[in-house]
Amino acid sequence: MSNYSIKNLEEYFQVYRKSVREPENFWEEVAEEHFTWRKKWDKVLSWDFSIPEIKWFENAKLNITENCVDRHLLTRGEKTAIIWEPNDPEEESLHISYKELLERVNKFANVLKDNGIKKGDKVCIYLPMIPELSVAMLACARIGAIHSVVFAGFSATALATRTNDADCKMLITADGSFRGNKTLDLKGIVDKALEDCPNVETVLVAKRIDADINMKEGRDKWLQPLLEEASSECEPEIMDAEDPLFILYTSGSTGTPKGMVHTTGGYMVYTAYTFKNIFQYKEEDVYWCTADIGWITGHSYILYGPLANGATTVMFEGVPSYPDYGRFWEVVEKHKVNQFYTAPTAIRSLAKRNIEFVEKYDLSSLKVLGSVGEPINEEAWHWYNDNIGKNKSPIVDTWWQTETGGIMISPIPYVTPAKPTYATLPFPGIQPALMDENGTELKGNQVDGRLCIKFPWPSMARTIYGNHKRYKETYFSAFENKYFTGDGALRDEVGYYRITGRVDDVIIVSGHNLGTAPIEDAINEHPAVAESAIVGFPHEVKGNALYAFVILKETGESRNQDNLRKEINQQISDRVGPIAKPEKIQFVSGLPKTRSGKIMRRILRKIASNDTSNLGDTSTLLNPEVVDEIIESSM
Ligand code: PRX
């Protein structure tokens, strides 16, 4: 039996048991079986959740790009590593072989070096889904620079905050991007962001839309001519297993976004191992994850996990609705996709359209369907299963987080059973625990509590960049000696997990993790606004949508409300991004507050969901009268 590839239910239980009883031996065997190390570890694991400090494969030496690219050249040099599918189906797709990928990565790595980037430097990448994005990330990893990818839909303010927080010296962007029938002025956003980023010395600009853009003398350089001149040889920098590989930001319930730091060895082992099993990837398969690489899903399951297995991975520039709602299925047919991984919000939005958009295409290549980002509701699960999987492709509902680096709880297709809306069983090495509010672990089945993880796994984030204290407080303080996920979950009668949603103030909108605080800050900065509160409410397509309750200053009360709504929306777009625009903005005279001054969001959530029959205990409110007023004016 190979630990690396799990083939049936009995093997799953055997492997899982071993992973819990002898975690060090188990992970050592996985790491030895599949990867190339320049030097093996002295110790598999040392950990202490009270500091917290976690080290995997201590003192091992490697370069992740050697594992993701070089070592495949012997057997897979001509195999396609990346299929790039452009926004416009009329434009040709690109097949990049492993050999060509190595050349591209090396050239890009040399360009980084020529522009002063060295091991340990931070590079911000703000690119659309074009091949340069994958190549740029691997080029950073090649020379030991730390990439910080910022989703190219974020606003100038959000980009500036992240660039500064990560101390980036360089920023890589494009002249613009295509999104459906629109173009986005990425370089304009970058220019605006960089007004507040004094430490960025160089901006490399990829040409994508041929826009007439401003190039700042001495700072901005076109990327392609530099790549053409660069050498295609670049020795990989030898990294320690615990050297940082990347920083990726995620929203918290309060405060600034958190720059999660992922390190090299453990991240590689875990993403590769989960990819291999959870998608049951076979050598000739074509795998497609529709996420943007700007999110962790893209990092782990478009790039690193698939490439570490020598897979063919599709990178899609476009959107599911362009040129029409059949685009995903057209791409599945065109590239004979075998594993397809997407988000519930995409499934819900496609399920609303005419079924002809699906039926036109041959989807018989599909073997595994995946879902990620938020709980998948029963209806969407069945639509996906019936119409896309034709009842023959198992669905893997994969639960995980930016912080976990890789998939944590998920069925293994053709190995463990699926159950609609359940992420089901923990992956080998993952030890979940459900806790009650008093910090007691709920043992046995048929329990419902807060989801924690009791034991380290190789791809967990090691810290929050520049703020280890916050890392400890956010993840390791709620429950002693456990990693707290921020999610609620239940365990059913046979031990399957169902994620019930966030228990903190993070709201998941269309699979995007949004903290309430930055959006409220953006609203409060409007000169007419005194205070605001954002809550989520169920939405048919987005999963959750945002509802803003806004108190105006006396000076703002006479203003036209529609205009104010427009201005507030604009303000949110500029400061956080268009994703964060609320579905509804209600002006109110007060917000329900406890005597200690905390907004009682539970009540606002009920009002936003139009479920005001039972508001629960409001006796601790300082201003109960405001509740009726808000309800009345919400109708
Ligand atoms: O609440 C959970 C939800 O998404 C959160 C993590 O968001 P993010 O860090 O942006 O990563 C998303 C992609 C990995 C989790 O705390 N979530 C993610 N996957 C699922 C999920 N909720 C239910 N079911 C899932 N499969």
List, for residues 285-331, the tens digit of each pLDDT value.
999 999 999 999 999 999 999 999 999 999 999 999 999 999 999 99
Cα gap 467→470, rounded to integer Å: 5
* Average pLDDT estimate for 550-572: 90
Residue-level pLDDT at 612 = 87
Nearest ligand 1 atom, CA 250: 9
Best residue among 248, 267, 372 to mutate for probing ligand 1's pocket (most ligand atoms within 8 Å of CB) is: 372
Whether the Cβ atoms of residue 390 and residue 367 lie closer than 8 Å to each other: no
> How far, in Å, is the centroid of ligand 1 from the Cα of 397?
10
137 — pLDDT class (breaks 50, 70, 90)? very high
253 — pLDDT class (breaks 50, 70, 90)? low
* Average pLDDT estimate for 132-158: 97
pLDDT higher than 80, residue 254:
no
> How far, in Å, is the centroid of ligand 1 from the Cα of 433?
17
Residue of the CA atom closest to atom 5 of ligand 1: 401
Strand order in the sheet with 94-97: 94-97, 80-85, 312-316, 286-289, 339-342, 368-372, 395-398
Nearest ligand 1 atom, CA 512: 10
Residue-level pLDDT at 538 = 92
What residues contact residue 70 under an 8 Å CB cut-off, 6+ apart?
A: 102, 236
What residues contact residue 613 under an 8 Å CB cut-off, 6+ apart?
A: none
Which helix (H) or strand (E) segment holds residue 506: the answer is strand 506-509
* Average pLDDT estimate for 259-279: 98
Whether the Cβ atoms of residue 344 and residue 375 lie closer than 8 Å to each other: yes
Give the alpha-carbon dihedral of 584, 291, 142, 230, to 10 degrees: -90
Of 44, 5, 20, the C-alpha closest to 265 is 44
Best residue among 295, 402, 513, 579 to mutate for probing ligand 1's pocket (most ligand atoms within 8 Å of CB) is: 513
602 — pLDDT class (breaks 50, 70, 90)? confident
> How far, in Å, is the centroid of ligand 1 from the Cα of 144?
29
Cα gap 150→205, rounded to integer Å: 15
> How far, in Å, is the centroid of ligand 1 from the Cα of 73?
35
Residue-level pLDDT at 305 = 98
> How far, in Å, is the centroid of ligand 1 from the Cα of 365?
27
Sign of the dihedral defined by the CA atoms of residues 306, 312, 317, 319, in that order = negative
251 — pLDDT class (breaks 50, 70, 90)? confident
> How far, in Å, is the centroid of ligand 1 from the Cα of 345?
12
Residue-level pLDDT at 622 = 81
Residue-level pLDDT at 556 = 75
CA 80 to chain centre: 25
Residue written as token pair 């993952």: 430
pLDDT higher than 80, residue 186:
yes
pLDDT higher than 80, residue 255:
no
> How far, in Å, is the centroid of ligand 1 from the Cα of 400?
5
CA 382 to chain centre: 24
Best residue among 248, 300, 398, 399 to mutate for probing ligand 1's pocket (most ligand atoms within 8 Å of CB) is: 399
> How far, in Å, is the centroid of ligand 1 from the Cα of 502?
9
Question: What residues does 370 pair with on adjacent strands?
Answer: 341, 396
Give residues (CB < 6 A) around ligand 1.
Answer: 250, 296-297, 372-375, 397-402, 423, 485-487, 499, 502, 508, 513
Residue-level pLDDT at 340 = 98
Residue of the CA atom closest to atom 14 of ligand 1: 401
* Average pLDDT estimate for 602-629: 86
Best residue among 487, 503, 504 to mutate for probing ligand 1's pocket (most ligand atoms within 8 Å of CB) is: 487
pLDDT higher than 70, residue 1:
no
* Average pLDDT estimate for 278-282: 97
Q: What is the mean pLDDT of the chain?
A: 95
Q: What does DSSP assign to residue 478? A: S
Question: What residues does 541 pair with on adjacent strands?
Answer: none
* Average pLDDT estimate for 528-557: 91
SS3 (DSSP) at 576: coil
Residue-level pLDDT at 408 = 98
> How far, in Å, is the centroid of ligand 1 from the Cα of 142?
29
* Average pLDDT estimate for 135-140: 99
Q: What percent of the chain has pLDDT over 70?
A: 99
Residue of the CA atom closest to atom 3 of ligand 1: 374
Q: What digits encode the pLDDT tens for the residues 457-502?
A: 999 999 999 999 999 999 999 999 999 999 999 999 999 999 988 8
Whether the Cβ atoms of residue 105 and residue 126 lie closer than 8 Å to each other: no
From the number of C-beta atoms within 10 Å of its C-beta (0-12, 13-18, 19+), residue 255 rates as: middle
> How far, in Å, is the centroid of ligand 1 from the Cα of 228?
40
Give the phi and the psi of residue 120 in degrees, each rounded to 5: 90, -15
Orientation of helix 561-575 relative to helix 516-524, angle to 10°: 130
What residues contact residue 111 under an 8 Å CB cut-off, 6+ apart?
A: 139, 204, 223, 226, 227, 230
* Average pLDDT estimate for 205-229: 97
Best residue among 151, 372, 400 to mutate for probing ligand 1's pocket (most ligand atoms within 8 Å of CB) is: 400
CB atoms near residue 42 (< 10 Å): 9
381 — pLDDT class (breaks 50, 70, 90)? very high
Distances (CA, A) of 104 to 131, 135, 245, 368: 10, 7, 19, 31
